[in-house]
A and B are shown apart, each in its own frame.
Chain A
Amino acid sequence: MAASSAGIGTLLCKNINKQIEIFYPTNRRYTWCVIRRICTSISRFRCQGQIKRKSAPKELVGVVGLEVHAQIQSITKLFSGSQVRFQAPPNSLVSFFDASLPGTLPVLNRRCVEAAVMTGLALDCVINRKSLFDRKHYFYADLPAGYQITQQRRPIAVDGTLTYSHLGGTRRNTLITKSVRIKQIQLEQDSGKSLHDDRRGQTLIDLNRAGVGLMELVMEPDMSCGEEAAAAVRELQLILQALGTCQGHMDEGQLRVDANVSVHRPGDPWGVRTEVKNINSGRNLARAIDYEIQRQVGVLKNGGTVQNETRSFDRKSGHTLPMRDKEGLQDYRFMPEPNLPPLIVYDRPSTAPPCVHPSQVVVLEEVRAGLPELPRARRTRLVESYDILPEHSFTLVNEDGLTDYFEAVVKETKAGPRKVIGWVNQVLLGLLHHHSLSVSQSPVTPQMLAQLLNLQENGQISSSVAKQVFQELWRAPGKTAQQIIQEQDLGIVSNTTEIHRICQKVVDSHPDQVQAIRGGNKKVLNKLMGLVQKETKGRADPVLVRSILEEKTS
Chain B
Amino acid sequence: MSVVNYARTLQKVILNIGPRCYHRWVTTASVALRIRDSKQNFRCRLWCGLLTPVHYQYSTEGNTSKVPSVATWEPVLENQLPPAKQVPADLVDKLERLALVDFPNQEGLVCLKKAIRFADQLHVVDTEGVDPMDSVLENRALYLREDVVAEGDCADRLLQLSKDTVEEYFVAPPGNIPLPGREEC
Contact = CB atoms under 8 A, between A and B. Distances in A.
B137 A341 contact: yes
Given A92-B155, A139-B176, A331-B94, A76 B143 contact: no
Pick from A89, A141, A196, A344 the residue with the most CB of B within 10 Å: A141
**Majority-rule SS of B interface residues:** loop
Pick from B143, B148, B159, B169 the residue with the most CB of A within 10 Å: B169
A263 to B, nearest CB: 30
Contacts of A340: 135, 137, 142
Interface string A88-118: 0111111111010100000111110100000
Contact of B168 (A91, A197, A203, A333): A91
Interface string B89-126: 00000100111100000000000000000000000000
A111 B155 CA distance: 26
Interface string B137-157: 111111111111111111100
B13 interface: no
A94 B159 CA distance: 11
Interface stretch (A218-226, A355-363, A444-452, A453-461): A355-363
Interface residues of A, number: 61
B170 A207 contact: yes
A80 B142 contact: no
A325 B159 CA distance: 29
A68 interface: no
A409 B143 CA distance: 49
Interface in A264-318: none
A472 to B, nearest CB: 50
Interface string B150-184: 11111100110100101111111111101000000
A107 to B, nearest CB: 5
Interface in A209-267: none
B134 interface: yes
Interface residues of B, number: 43
A82 B100 contact: no
B144 A359 contact: yes
A337 interface: yes
Given A95-B154, A342-B135, A107 B145 contact: yes
B152 A82 contact: yes
B173 A201 contact: yes
B98 A82 contact: no
A75 B149 contact: yes
Interface in B71-92: none
A177 B99 CA distance: 47
B34 to A, nearest CB: 36
A4 to B, nearest CB: 29
Nearest to A336: B134
A207 B170 CA distance: 9
Contacts of B149: 75-76, 81-83
B69 to A, nearest CB: 33
Given A132-B134, A325-B176, A99 B158 contact: yes
Nearest to A206: B169
A325 B145 contact: no
A136 to B, nearest CB: 12
B98 to A, nearest CB: 6
A11 interface: no
A203 B171 CA distance: 6
Contact of B144 (A109, A203, A324, A336): A109
A137 B161 CA distance: 23
Nearest to A112: B147
Contacts of A97: 151
Nearest to B170: A205
A201 B174 contact: yes
Contacts of A205: 169-172
Contacts of A360: 141, 143-144
Closest 8 interchain pairs by CB? A81-B150, A82-B152, A141-B172, A95-B151, A336-B134, A204-B169, A110-B144, A111-B147
19 contacts: A75-B147, A90-B168, A91-B159, A92-B155, A92-B168, A94-B155, A94-B158, A108-B143, A108-B145, A109-B145, A196-B174, A202-B171, A204-B172, A205-B169, A325-B175, A337-B135, A341-B140, A341-B142, A360-B144
